[in-house]
Structures are given as C-alpha cells and as structure tokens.
Amino acid sequence: MKPGRRYVGPGWPGVVLALSGALVVAGLPAHASPQRDTPSGASSPPSKPPPGLRLRLDTRGLDTAQVDASQRLLDDALTRLPPQFMTRLGRAVPVRWSDALPHESYGRAERTDLLLNRRLLPALADGSAATLRSDRPHRSQRRELLATVLHELTHFLDRDRRLSDDPRLLDLAGWQVKVHRRSRLTDNQFVDRSPDPYELTDPEEFLAVNMEYFLLDPAYACRRPALHRWFSAYFDWSPPQDQCAAGYPFLDTSDDPDAKVVGILDPGRVYQVDYLLAEGNDRLMSRWGHGMLRLVVCAPGRPRGPDCRLDLQHHLVLSFRAFVDDVQLSSWRGLTGSYPSRLFVLPLSQVVEEYTKDQLRGLRSVPLRLERDEVAGLLERAAKLHWSYDGRYYFLTNNCAVETFKLLHDGVPRLAGARLDSITPTGLMRQLREQGIADTSVLDDRREALRLGYRFDSLRERFQAMYDVARGELALPPTTVEGWLDASPDARGPWLGKAGLRTSAALLLLEQAAYRREVLLAREDLKRRYLDRDARAPRFADADEQLQQVLEQSGFLSRPAELLDGQAGYGLPQDEELRWLAAEGARRRAGLQRLGEQLTAEVRELLDPAMRARLDGAQANVTLLGDRLRTLHEAGDGLRLP
C-alpha cells in the first residue's frame, strides 16, 4: 500500500466554496455534530480519557505560538470527525511538522506518523493562513491544512479497516466493473467536475479526498448525494448539510427552440423506467440493435400512474452514444476506442422519429420492475454520468449495452447481483427478461403494445398496407410500394387530387416517406462529394469552414461539463452554476443556430438541381395532400378542432 500523500496540483483553478458560517448554520439539520465537545486528548487531558483516537503533537523545536496554533488545528480536526471514526481508529497518532516533504505537498500519512509540511507552519502560527488564499478548492491555507489532517487520518483508518475495498464505494467512485465481472476497470473515467483530480489516482486517495468534502463542505450532500449517503451509512452519522433542490439537472440538447437549456430530472415524476431497444439492421455497427433507457415522466400535475405512459412529450431517453467528431464514422476507430462514450439525455419523440421514420427500425419499450428508491438511485447515477463521465467507446467491450448494464449495476445496488453482462443490446433484453427484471408480457398483444407505446413500429411496416389501400381505390400503375416511391414526384402528383379521404391519408404517409428518402439520398450525395477532396469545388470550401466551426462549437452538447469549465463547484451543478449554465448554454445554442443558418445559405447552392427538383416536388405533393384532406373533411362536415 502506498503512503497517503497529498499534493497540490499546479494550475488547478481556484474554487471558492460557499462555506461561510452562516451557510453552515442555515443548512444545519436536526442532527448537529455531536463531536463538538469531544476532547482531543493531545493537550489538556480530559478527566475520563476515551478509548478513541488521540493526536499527539510533536512539540520539539516549536515555539509557543506554533504549538498553540498547531493544537488548535488538530482540535478543530477532531471535532469534525464522526464518533465511529474516533473509536474505530482507537489509538494515538503522532503528528509532526516535517522539512522532508516535497514543496507542493501539504502532508503525508507515514506508517505511524502524520506529517505536515513545515513550510506552512509560520503562516498558521501568525494567523495569516486563515486568509491566505490557496489555489485549491478549500479556499484558505488554514482550511487546506485542516482538510489535510482529515485526509491523512482517513488513510490511517483505511489501512486498518479497508474501506476503500468496498465494492459499493468502487461502483460509486467510478472504478467500474468489467462486463464479465471478477475484475474492474483500472482507470476512473469520471474525470469531469471533480473537486480535486487527485481523487482519481486510486481508491485510497478517492476515499481520503472525498472524506475532506464530506466533513467540510455542507454542499457535498447535494453535489455527490450517493457518496454522501455511503459515508453517512458507514459512520452512522452525518455532518451539517445544505438543503438540496429536488431533482437532478441535465443539459437539454433537444432541437426544440422553446426548451430550456437546463432541464430537471425529478424522480417524483418518473412513473416507470423502460429498457428501450432499437431493432438491429444489416449494417455492421447496428446489427445488434441499440439499447437505451426510457424514462416515463408524468406531465406536470399528473399523479404517477398508467396515464403517464401517454405523456409522450415529457418522456426522456438515456442513450449512451459514441461521439463522432468527424464527418465520417470509422469502424476501425469504433473498434479501437477512439471515440468518447457519453450519456445523452434526449426527448423520446426525437429518438422515436429518428429510428422509425429515418432509419426505418422499430423499437421495443419494456418496463423494468424497480422500487421507488431504485428509480431515484438510477436517475441520480445518470445525472452523475451526464456531468462527469468521459468514457471510451469500444464496439465490442464498451458499447451501449455494456454502458447501460453498468448504469443499472451502479445505479441500482440490487441489480449488481443480477447476471446482466451481455455485450449486445438484444442479449441484454433477454437477460433482463430471464432475471425477471423486465416485464416483456406487455409485448404479447402486438396491437395493444402499439397502442400503448410498448412497441413503435417502423414506418416500413406501414408502407405496404398504405399502398394497398391507395391501389385499391386508384388504379395506380406501380405494382409495389417501392415502385411508387421510386417514381418522380411529378409522376405521382396527378393521382393525388383524385383520392377520397381514406386513400388521401394513405398517400400522405407515403409522400412524407418519399420526401424523407429524397433527403437521405441528397445527404449521401453531398457527403460523397464533400469527402472526395479532389472534386471539392470552391463553394464546398466555404461550407467546409462553417462545418468545421460547427464541429468545434458543438462539443458541449455531448460533454455538458464543458459549459462549466473554469467555474467553481464540482459534482452536480448547484444554484449558482445552474444560473451560469442557463445563460452560457443559451449563448452557445444561439451561436450554433447562427452557424446553422450560414451553413444553410452555403449548402443551398450545393444541391444537385435534379435532386432539388425532386425534393421540391415531394414537398409540393405533401402540401397538396394536406389541403385535399382538409377540403374533404370540411365537405364531409367532420368534427373540427378549435
């Protein structure tokens, strides 16, 4: 075991935590620290010495002021420790100011002694350390020293009790299990919004660093709620803490301009969590489907219940995706871990549309049997991933199925024991069913499943039915729906004005599909021409510049923490950060929209004229059918919605 060592990382931005006395008092819950009167044992021995921890200051070579200041520091540290800490580390720990520590180090836990860097003693003795700003999150140099004493004492306790081996702590900290268990990842990839990157060194340091914040920061409970609960449970005690806001913030990346930049995930409004599986297709990277989680969020004001399943516009999808910062997806990079793997929070409507209408892939959405507190734990974990996780995507070993498994494993402790380690999304669905976690009976009745949103059919499934209806009424020449869609919009146009209501509805669906297909074809064509550098016209170069800017400026959409770079705070963003996020997020979004408009101007000129004509033609056909449906409806004196 390596000695606990606490370095000051150079260049770490100064962070001011709201640790004013007023806040501590204001946030003080019913249980005030019972430690205030515990004797320290080092000086002024109490009448009945407890069996617990004592700190023995080595006073050799110190003057009176130095001894007094040191003693006050140690007393201060002891008053902040949980009672069980004192009894479990039930011995005397010698404390010594040392000249032998590296310049940047505050302290170290040696085999038996706690060392503090003597360089810092003069300022502590003359009182200036209280105001001397440290370049670290604990604000002042004296507070850093206090944190250091707590940190090193934690190392002593950990050596006796091996807290840092606790699997649950490792889950929460981010040394995640591997897909075929028995071992854990050696790297901690929860790198964003860390209070002190030193915590990522190893589990021992993670424990010691987090103990500092658990004991000293009243906001720790709100910023790292799961870890706060873990410490509180271990010590059966918790320090004064702030009142936390309900729900967890997330960056809303939906393309709805009315949407707020920061949304709040409120577990109280989540009726169910579904495993959402997109069916695979014949392409290599999507052959085994895509696994996601769907949050069945109730509309504001609606009590949790089955009706919430129809509040589709409030439902969200948690989807792990590889972030491809290029115009071309490379299978090789997908296999070798070159892409970041990140958790996106998306509106369900966007996900359903993308799969069923653009990619023509169906979706299955199966509720998971979870208790209320398990839903809350899962959302909390998702929020942590959203703000802190920067993993690597590996096509075979760390794909969406593996990431979703890890989210369930780490977010719902009960599921950590279940066998859910498939590396494919369809395999995960099977395991969830076999373990009794997913209720797939909702899929048994196919029509009911479609009506209630347990199944979203791909539009492709509807095409033939629609075309049969249309062909039944009008003697359309093509024998297959593909033939109809392949015909030019101008050839289809003359038929569209002849149809009755039912057939017009069928033709509308087909015409929209034709339009989407034209868009995809034009897109492929543009992409081919864009990537073919030899043929790139000067006009492409203009668009290229805009595209590069979009690439550069849209990274925050996949890594929300980027918006808070340089801001104070760690973990889940709190009040002040949320205000910053709202302003900064809106600014970035507006910037991207501006770029998008410029890009639009550039790309209009690049479209192949024939393709453009087909697009315009399909668009005109859609408009024509819309008008026709209205006319027929009015003529039939149908119900009119105000």
Partner 1 sequence: MKHPRQPAIRLLTATLLLGLSMTASASTFYTISDSLSGSVKAISDGTSGTSGSFSSDKIVLAARDDAASYVASAGAIRGVHLEAAFMHIRELLPAARQASDDELAQAILAI
The nearest distance, CB 634 to partner 1, in angstroms, is: 7
**Residues 198, 234, 515, 570: which binds partner 1 (CB under 8 A)?**
515
The nearest distance, CB 557 to partner 1, in angstroms, is: 5
Tokens 């062909």: give the residue.
471
**Residue span binding partner 1 (CB under 8 A) among the ranges 215-223, 234-242, 325-333, 570-578:** 325-333
Residue 545 interacts with partner 1 (CB under 8 A)?
Answer: no
Residue 519 interacts with partner 1 (CB under 8 A)?
Answer: yes
Residue 25 interacts with partner 1 (CB under 8 A)?
Answer: no
Interaction residues for partner 1, span 605-634 (CB under 8 A): 606-607, 615, 619, 622-627, 629-630, 632-634
The nearest distance, CB 184 to partner 1, in angstroms, is: 25
Six token digits for residue 350: 């966007």
| Cβ nearer to partner 1, comparing 164 with 359 | 359
| Cβ nearer to partner 1, comparing 195 with 289 | 289
The nearest distance, CB 615 to partner 1, in angstroms, is: 7
The nearest distance, CB 538 to partner 1, in angstroms, is: 16
The nearest distance, CB 359 to partner 1, in angstroms, is: 7
**Residue span binding partner 1 (CB under 8 A) among the ranges 36-44, 67-75, 133-141, 524-532:** 524-532
Residue 187 interacts with partner 1 (CB under 8 A)?
Answer: no
C-alpha 625/C-alpha 475 separation (Å) is 18
Tokens 């509807």: give the residue.
462
Interaction residues for partner 1, span 207-246 (CB under 8 A): none
Using CB under 8 A as the binding criterion, the count of chain residues that bind partner 1 stands at: 107
C-alpha 520/C-alpha 518 separation (Å) is 5
**Residue span binding partner 1 (CB under 8 A) among the ranges 173-181, 213-221, 474-482, 546-554:** 546-554
**Residue span binding partner 1 (CB under 8 A) among the ranges 4-12, 182-190, 221-229, 251-259:** 251-259
Assess contact for 352 and 294: CB atoms under 8 A. Answer: no
The nearest distance, CB 330 to partner 1, in angstroms, is: 9
Residue 451 interacts with partner 1 (CB under 8 A)?
Answer: yes
Residue 576 interacts with partner 1 (CB under 8 A)?
Answer: no
Residue 104 interacts with partner 1 (CB under 8 A)?
Answer: no
| Cβ nearer to partner 1, comparing 46 with 626 | 626
Residue 418 interacts with partner 1 (CB under 8 A)?
Answer: no
The nearest distance, CB 275 to partner 1, in angstroms, is: 16
Per-residue HEC secondary structure of 518-561 comes to: HHHHHHHHHHHHHHCHHHCCHHHHHHHHHHHHHHHHCHHHCCHH
DSSP at 292: E
Our measurement of the distance from residue 515's CA atom to the centroid of its chain's CA atoms, rounded to an integer in Å, reads 35
C-alpha 621/C-alpha 623 separation (Å) is 5
Label residues 219-229 b or e (16+ Cβ within 10 Å = b). bbbbbbbbbbe
| Cβ nearer to partner 1, comparing 264 with 606 | 606
**Residue span binding partner 1 (CB under 8 A) among the ranges 39-47, 132-140, 202-210, 248-256:** 248-256
C-alpha 348/C-alpha 318 separation (Å) is 9
The nearest distance, CB 97 to partner 1, in angstroms, is: 53
C-alpha 210/C-alpha 418 separation (Å) is 29
Dihedral sign for Cα atoms in the order 395, 397, 402, 406: negative
Assess contact for 27 and 241: CB atoms under 8 A. Answer: yes
In sequence order, the 6+-apart residues with CB closer than 8 A to the CB of 282 are: none
C-alpha 2/C-alpha 155 separation (Å) is 10
| Cβ nearer to partner 1, comparing 435 with 549 | 549
Assess contact for 317 and 295: CB atoms under 8 A. Answer: yes
Interaction residues for partner 1, span 284-313 (CB under 8 A): 284-286, 290, 307, 310-313
| Cβ nearer to partner 1, comparing 226 with 620 | 620
**Residues 254, 338, 435, 440: which binds partner 1 (CB under 8 A)?**
254
CA distances from 219 to 27, 154, 197, 465, 616 (A): 9, 20, 18, 58, 56
Interaction residues for partner 1, span 332-371 (CB under 8 A): 334, 339, 342, 344, 346, 349-351, 353-355, 357-359
Radius of gyration of the chain (CA): 31
Interaction residues for partner 1, span 41-100 (CB under 8 A): none
Six token digits for residue 290: 């895509």
Q: How many CB atoms lie within 10 A of CB 256?
A: 11
H or E segment to which residue 366 belongs? strand 363-367
Closest CA relative to residue 89, chosen from 158, 39, 35, 141: 158
C-alpha 533/C-alpha 497 separation (Å) is 45
